[in-house]
Amino acid sequence: MAKIRVLMVEDSATIRGRFEEILATDPELELVGTATDGKMAIELCEALRPNVVTMDMMLPTMSGLASTEYIMAHFPTPILIVSSSTNRGELFKTYEALAAGAVDVLDKPLGDEVDGDWERRFLSTLKLVSRIKVITHPRARLPASAKSSQAALPPRYDAVGGQDYDVIAIGASTGGPGAILEVLGALPPHFSLPIVMVLHINEMFAPAFAEWLDGQTTRRVAYARDGEPVESHAGRVVMAPPGQHMVVRGGRLHLSRDPERHSCRPSVDVLFESVADEYGSRAAAALLTGMGRDGATGLLDIRRAGGLTIAQDEATSVVYGMPREAAVIGAAMRILPLGEIGRAIGGLAMAGARVPA
């Protein structure tokens, strides 16, 4: 069996040495190249065509973000961000790299981990990321003026309403930052329903995500506070905070550190199940790209309660895991390309025949 070809992008000699030692312990992996700056990363990625890239964010000459954007636009390759950057500005760059097509993010070892634990996570994540069929992100090829004009095009909305809705629920995992950004960007300015959302992201890197997303869209985004009314987020997005489940009960948001579901906390299923119980047929939900099966049974609960349910299709998903599980069990009333999901949700504010169950 052919080995998984790894390109390492890291400017620290110490970290490079440790990564090389770890990779050498796994017979399934082969280190085919090492880059110490972003420009070299692009050159080696194009020349070597590795199966997976480990990418540091803070690099000389060209940043990890710029390198990621170029690679994903011109010769898309699965990228695992491996970073220790946790201040606000550096976290924002990590989110932008994820939105540009990087698959996942892993924290660098701190030196106080249980013996062998970080190494096992690194190797297993690297193998998992290498198997993902990434898609091209052509947006990075456009000049700034073209990006602005493209974003300014008025979207077309599909009338899928015919009934009143009180809430929209969204769940996403791997590939989620970019998908969420596209869905929110497609909503009409007058859209006034509250949006409750769960995104799986490494907890160490999650603290500033809501703030970053708030700056990327005209729609206000914030992490939930325990006990606040859902209706206080009308026209806004409220997210489950890092490491906490979020549920809706009695018209209010409640947070907990209850056990993980599908190895996830927050869990999409936990949120969706509460939405089904609380709103029934007055709820709509979308399950976006992601690894695993979290959210599928919760989406089915919403459909059984009479709500509108949407799953992202395979062609536009970075990882067709969660939405596939939803499709298999019949949880999704509609399976749509990513570019149509925002329009469909936006159409909930328009008149039209009710979607058949």
Catalytic residues: 173, 200, 294
> Helix (H, G, I), strand (E, B), or coil: what is residue 47?
helix
Compute CA distances 147 → 88, 94, 151, 186, 337, whole Å.
Answer: 25, 20, 6, 15, 21
User: Torsions phi, psi of 166, nearest 5?
Assistant: -110, -20
Listed in sequence order, the residues at least 6 apart from 15 whose beta carbon sits closer than 8 Å to its beta carbon are 56, 108
Separation of alpha carbons 193 and 198, rounded Å: 17
End-to-end CA distance of the chain: 47
Compute CA distances 104 → 74, 134, 162, 202, 331, whole Å.
Answer: 19, 12, 39, 8, 26
The 10 Å Cβ neighbour count of residue 259 is: 8
> Helix (H, G, I), strand (E, B), or coil: what is residue 97?
helix
Separation of alpha carbons 38 and 10, rounded Å: 9
Compute CA distances 305 → 35, 264, 275, 302, 354, whole Å.
Answer: 53, 24, 10, 5, 15
Separation of alpha carbons 290 and 319, rounded Å: 5
b/e per residue, 16-54, with b = 16+ CB within 10 A?
A: bebbeebbeebeebebbbbbbbbbbbbebbeebebbbbb
Cα 314 vs. chain centroid, distance in angstroms? 15
Strand partners, 229: 252
Helices (H) and strands (E) in the chain, counts: 12, 14
